[in-house]
Amino acid sequence: MELSEKTLEILYIEEPPLEFGHGQVCDHPKDGLFLYGPHEGPKRTRQISVGVIGTEFGVDLFPNWAAGIGKFLPVPPPGKTEKKNRLHLSDFPGLEETFGISVDPGIVFKKVTHKELDEATRTINHHEAVKKAVDLYVDQIERHIRNEEHPVNVWILVLPELIFERCKPQSKRSGLGLVKGSFGKKQKARVDLPLLEDVVDQTEEAIFEDVPDFHRQVKARLLKIGHTSQLMRETTLAPDKFKNNAGYNVRKLQDPATVAWNFATGLYYKTQPKPPWRLSHIRPGVCYIGLVFKVLPNHPQAHACCAAQMFLSEGDGVVFRGANGPWKTGKYEFHLKAPEAKSLIAMVLETYKEKHGAPPKELFIHGRTKLNDEEWAAFQEAAPKGTNIVGVRIKTTGGDVKLFRDGDYPVLRGTAMILNETNAYLWSSGFLPRLDTYIGPETPNPLFITILRSTGEMPALRTVLRDIMGLTKINYNACNYNDGLPVTVRFADKVGDILVMGSAKGAERQPFKFYI
């Protein structure tokens, strides 16, 4: 990359506005929801049917907690060492007052016993132990679907702490008194594992195609039966009921108002046809996708799964699962062969056309690596005439470049350092005048943005930076002012983690809300 000899240009990208109810615009999701309600929200209160699965103790905690988020929850008063003006925190007005939805009193309760979970997670083979624990929850959902007529909009899985202690890939289960199951402790995947396309059933051996992670397995299983879910810890519902030996809460949580904001935002997104907000003043006919690659677990040839996350001006997203194959070409490099690259982009374009009646005018492909000639030629071939494809690389930096404001203060979020016509540093995190603070532990690091290629006219770098800034405000799993990464790459790892699970086979095209 050649830098211009002239002084580097510093730009400020203004905070992208968001659109809420009645066409009103605001830059802060919490303020916009409080003042105007959700974008295209319900005209009268809409009741949400909720199913809750957990131990008897965990299930009993949920009704009181749910009743609590139906009321006003104030931000706690500042401590002695805090500023009185804490603009980054907001009172929660209540679920119905903010989102126009309420939890149906007829909650569907399903129970698993603590003894069943304890016994399942003591199984000597970790893959088998996690699958048994997941089965206890998912079987309740499948049984309800088969036998009950009462529809459920979203399932809340209330989890005891033993799930988090025993059902993660690196869980230490020493001293538990493990018991033998169908497999021995050292049992591993077969050396001749087929690709996921060849796996028809989740046979006993197929459990080794799933990483022993409760969260990922549950999300993968529910993809196939078309149900959204929210995992909640018992310690989140009643933190004061869980104390350590010193008498303190075993977990430090955000204040109740912030917890309520985040849960309610996710609940609305997972149950309603439209997201709670969308980007305002977005250019028509624009589509963004983020390329996702993840190495398949236990595959002897280190094959990877590819996918694309598509996001539109409406804010909602769809995840497309592509083919598995030898896509890894370097330590952090993944590249598709031409047929698979063409097929993946064709799926994206077909879905866009179904929603809008015509192909997009601009298709931005976001990724963390460069696009090679074979991939690019395939993308060009898949795109119809009139669609300009633009490849953009978005890389995080490790502190090699620092920029300060007034000598030693963090720069404003939205500051950009232009290196040339196709390269720039963008500070998507930084000081927020709106909140009078910088939310971060250290001096913010910029993203390194590169416009790689374009099939038509090369877009202005400032336009690309402005789009990326907007995409940092599309996270419906929380109600934050912004994220540090655009949604096209922020969830790439999480989406990939779920897609590579053997139990996710068959979920080739699913809404993004199923993954979070």
pLDDT score for 301: 73
- Do 420 and 297 share a structural domain? yes
| Unique residue bearing structure tokens 């039966």 | 225
Percentage of the chain with pLDDT > 90? 73
C-alpha of 141 from chain center: 23
Query: Quick count: other Cβ atoms within 10 Å of Cβ 411?
Result: 23
- Do 331 and 435 share a structural domain? yes
Q: What is the pLDDT of residues 337-391, one digit of tens each?
A: 999 999 999 999 999 999 999 999 999 999 999 999 999 999 999 999 999 999 9
Query: pLDDT class for 158, splitting at 50, 70, 90?
Result: very high
Q: Residue 220: which of 321, 336, 116 has the closest Cα? A: 321
Last residue of a domain, one of 219, 239, 271: 271
Q: CA-CA distance, 216 to 200, in Å (whole number)? A: 20
Contacts of 457 (CB under 8 A, 6+ apart): 388
pLDDT score for 174: 86
pLDDT score for 300: 67
* 58 falls within a domain: no
C-alpha of 403 from chain center: 29
- Do 266 and 324 share a structural domain? no
Q: CA-CA distance, 474 to 322, in Å (whole number)? A: 24
pLDDT score for 505: 81
pLDDT score for 195: 40
CA dist 242 to 3, 233, 249, 263, 270, Å?
Answer: 57, 11, 6, 21, 29
- Do 497 and 428 share a structural domain? yes
* 102 falls within a domain: no
pLDDT score for 509: 86
Q: What is the pLDDT of residues 121-144, one digit of tens each?
A: 999 999 999 999 999 999 999 999
pLDDT score for 231: 97
* 97 falls within a domain: no
Q: Is 346 left (phi over 0), alpha (psi -120 to 50) or beta?
A: alpha
Res. 86: pLDDT tops 80: no
- Do 489 and 470 share a structural domain? yes
Identity of residue 24: Q
- Do 325 and 266 share a structural domain? no
Rounded average pLDDT over 168-184: 89
Query: pLDDT class for 82, splitting at 50, 70, 90?
Result: low
Q: What is the pLDDT of residues 482-505, one digit of tens each?
A: 999 999 999 988 899 998 888 888
| Backbone CA torsion sign across 346, 349, 355, 356 | negative
Rounded average pLDDT over 175-188: 81
pLDDT score for 84: 55
Q: CA-CA distance, 414 to 436, in Å (whole number)? A: 15
Res. 199: pLDDT tops 50: no
Q: CA-CA distance, 279 to 346, in Å (whole number)? A: 25
Last residue of a domain, one of 242, 271, 300: 271
Q: CA-CA distance, 490 to 484, in Å (whole number)? A: 8
CA dist 287 to 283, 352, 364, 508, Å?
Answer: 10, 8, 6, 19
- Do 217 and 333 share a structural domain? no
Rounded average pLDDT over 461-487: 95
- Do 287 and 264 share a structural domain? no
- Do 412 and 286 share a structural domain? yes
* 431 falls within a domain: yes
pLDDT score for 194: 39
Last residue of a domain, one of 229, 244, 271: 271
Rounded average pLDDT over 280-287: 89
| Unique residue bearing structure tokens 């240009």 | 9
Mean per-residue pLDDT of the chain: 90
Across 44-58, 188-202, 308-322, least confident range: 188-202
pLDDT score for 233: 97
Res. 161: pLDDT tops 90: yes
CA dist 233 to 69, 122, 438, Å?
Answer: 16, 20, 29
Structural domain including 250 reads 108-271
pLDDT score for 201: 42
CA dist 17 to 25, 243, 334, 414, Å?
Answer: 6, 43, 34, 13
CA dist 198 to 19, 150, 175, 202, 319, Å?
Answer: 45, 36, 39, 11, 21
* 4 falls within a domain: no
Query: Exposure pattern of 189-221 as b/e (b: 16+ CB <10 Å)?
Result: beeebebbeebeeeeeebbbbbbbbbbbbbbbb
pLDDT score for 331: 80
- Do 285 and 267 share a structural domain? no
Count of alpha carbons within 13 Å of 167, Cβ hemisphere only? 26
Q: What is the pLDDT of residues 6-19, one digit of tens each?
A: 678 999 999 999 99
pLDDT score for 80: 59
HEC letters along 96-121: HHHHCEEECCCCEEEECCHHHHHHHC
- Do 471 and 325 share a structural domain? yes
Q: CA-CA distance, 328 to 214, in Å (whole number)? A: 26
Contacts of 104 (CB under 8 A, 6+ apart): 47, 48, 49, 50
* 92 falls within a domain: no
Count of alpha carbons within 13 Å of 495, Cβ hemisphere only? 30
Task: Write down the number of H helices and E strands in the chain.
Answer: 14, 21
Res. 202: pLDDT tops 80: no
As for how many domains the chain has, the answer is 2
Res. 318: pLDDT tops 70: yes
Q: What is the pLDDT of residues 203-258, one digit of tens each?
A: 556 788 889 999 999 999 999 898 999 999 999 999 999 998 888 999 999 999 99
The vertex-111 CA angle with 176 and 136, nearest 5°, equals: 55
Q: Which helix (H) or strand (E) holds 67?
A: helix 56-68
Rounded average pLDDT over 13-33: 96
Q: Residue 364: which of 351, 348, 343 has the closest Cα? A: 348
Q: What's the CATH number where 453 sits?
A: 3.30.420.10
- Do 360 and 230 share a structural domain? no
* 94 falls within a domain: no
Predicted TM-score (pTM) of this structure: 0.91
pLDDT score for 507: 77
* 299 falls within a domain: yes
pLDDT score for 205: 65
